[in-house]
Amino acid sequence: MTFQTILFDLDGTLIDSVRLILDSYHHTLATHGLPARTDAEWLRGGGTPLRVQFAPWQDAPGIDVLIATYREYNLANHDSCVTVYPGVVDTVRAIRAAGLATGLVTSKNRGGAERGLRLCGIETMMDVIVGADDVVNPKPHPEPVEMAMRLLNASPAHTLYVGDSIHDMMSGRAAGVRTAGVLWGPFTRQDLEPAEPDYWLECPEDLTRLVTASA
């Protein structure tokens, strides 16, 4: 398989922001006096937008109120809590050096995604960004991946989507691209097996080897 385009998820794939995300959810429910959820319960929705995660409280206090509280806490703690996974920068750099197009497909809004990329020094390494506010139907729907391919004039047959969650794998598969499940994020092989990724990546260097071998 020869790849020409590599699309990435953000949280849990390029940047280690999972603890901050979970703490932001816990803070939000506590602030509004709502029953707590466990980390595992929140992680089941990993890879989906805030509006999906907060859907059970759409009537009271309301999704917009919860999102505002979440973002206030998340942004206040973002730069001190988020790091890039070891090996990611070198891998993305190698992919671009091999002449492949790159794109970010995330369930974060564009502004938050750009902040994460800047913090980790990879903001100039993505040719396109597709965020939750760019689409009508977020992951696991294929629309975000399809939009990124359209912007890059990419062929599904030569595109790989790299992500850490089952929703990433479902979105990529529905869009007709190959998928790669990363195992350095919060999810295990057992978590991702139901989505049947085409490739398993134990570390970012595995992606470098996979992509450069196909170039």
Active-site positions read 9
Question: Largest Cα–Cα distance of the chain, in whole Å?
Answer: 53
In whole angstroms, what is the distance from residue 61 CA to residue 39 CA?
21
Phi (first) and psi of residue 124, to 5 degrees: -90, 0
Classified as helix, coil or strand, 104 is strand
In whole angstroms, what is the distance from residue 131 CA to residue 134 CA?
5
- DSSP structure string for 193-210: GGG--SEEESSHHHHHHH
Residue closest to 179 by CA, chosen among 187, 189, 190, 171: 171
Residues 6+ apart with CB under 8 A from 124: none
Give the other-Cβ count within 10 Å of 113's Cβ.
Answer: 26
Of how many residues is the chain composed?
215
Using the CB atoms, write b or e for 160-181: b if 16+ within 10 Å. Answer: bbbbbbbbbbbbbbebebbbbb
In whole angstroms, what is the distance from residue 62 CA to residue 64 CA?
6
Classified as helix, coil or strand, 159 is strand
